[in-house]
Amino acid sequence: MMLRPFSSNEIPSFDELLVTIPNFLPEESFRALKQEIESLTLVSRGHVPMYRKGGAIDYETLKQHAPQALELYQSTELKAFITKIIGTPVLQTPAHHLNSLSVLVYSQPGDHISWHHDKNYYRGRYFTALLAIENRGHAADGLSSLRLLVRKKDGDITVPTPPNTLVLFEGEKIFHRTTQLKEGERRVLLSMTYSTDPTYSFAKNALRRVKDASFFGLKALWK
């Protein structure tokens, strides 16, 4: 899957460890990807009190049923684009890690994620690229009430996530959350993770499995 052409002034600075890029994919490519992801029905629901409530589709399922999502995640072009932004080469995180490529589905009232830093289970720096697939609701802009918030020294800021917006960030160093979804709303994101060195220790891999189980169920404990 080809990215749209980007001019040099569209390559944002990564000084704040988070960037947003609207209209990321060509319209036709995004429409096909959205149709593919919306056709998926194998969603694992998870609820960890005081932390997270929502649905997710894991890497194994996407490898079988979402070839366009897989192609985008694995593409040399996307890795080169991310490398250009952050200033250092990145690699995909391991294919047997269910969170390396996933779909995050917020579809029920109260779905959210509380304030947190992402855990980095790898030896290198760890980055997440979120591509907004669907975001509709009752807000004045037509989007859902579920918003991505980032805490800064002078207050919290809202990161816009209308459809076809890419958010690239270093979650280990960004304190962030998503607010609660309201009745009749829906927000779907394609999550793609990369690292400058995706090798890991036995201890960190055990912790990763426990975290992934909160998203994808008990099968994650053996991945």
13 within a domain of the structure (yes/no) = no
Range of the domain at 84: 25-222
117 within a domain of the structure (yes/no) = yes
Predicted confidence at residue 208, as pLDDT, reads 64
Q: Which two tokens stand for residue 86?
A: 């952050």
Residue 178 near residue 112 (C-beta atoms within 8 A): yes
109 within a domain of the structure (yes/no) = yes
Structural domains of the chain, count: 1
pLDDT in tens, 51-109: 899 999 999 999 999 999 999 999 999 999 999 999 999 999 998 888 999 999 999 99
pLDDT in tens, 162-202: 999 999 999 999 999 999 999 999 999 999 999 999 998 77
6 within a domain of the structure (yes/no) = no
Question: CA-based Rg of the chain, rounded to a whole angstrom?
Answer: 16
CATH no. for residue 70? 2.60.120.620
77 within a domain of the structure (yes/no) = yes
79 within a domain of the structure (yes/no) = yes
Q: What is the pTM of this model?
A: 0.92
187 within a domain of the structure (yes/no) = yes
35 within a domain of the structure (yes/no) = yes
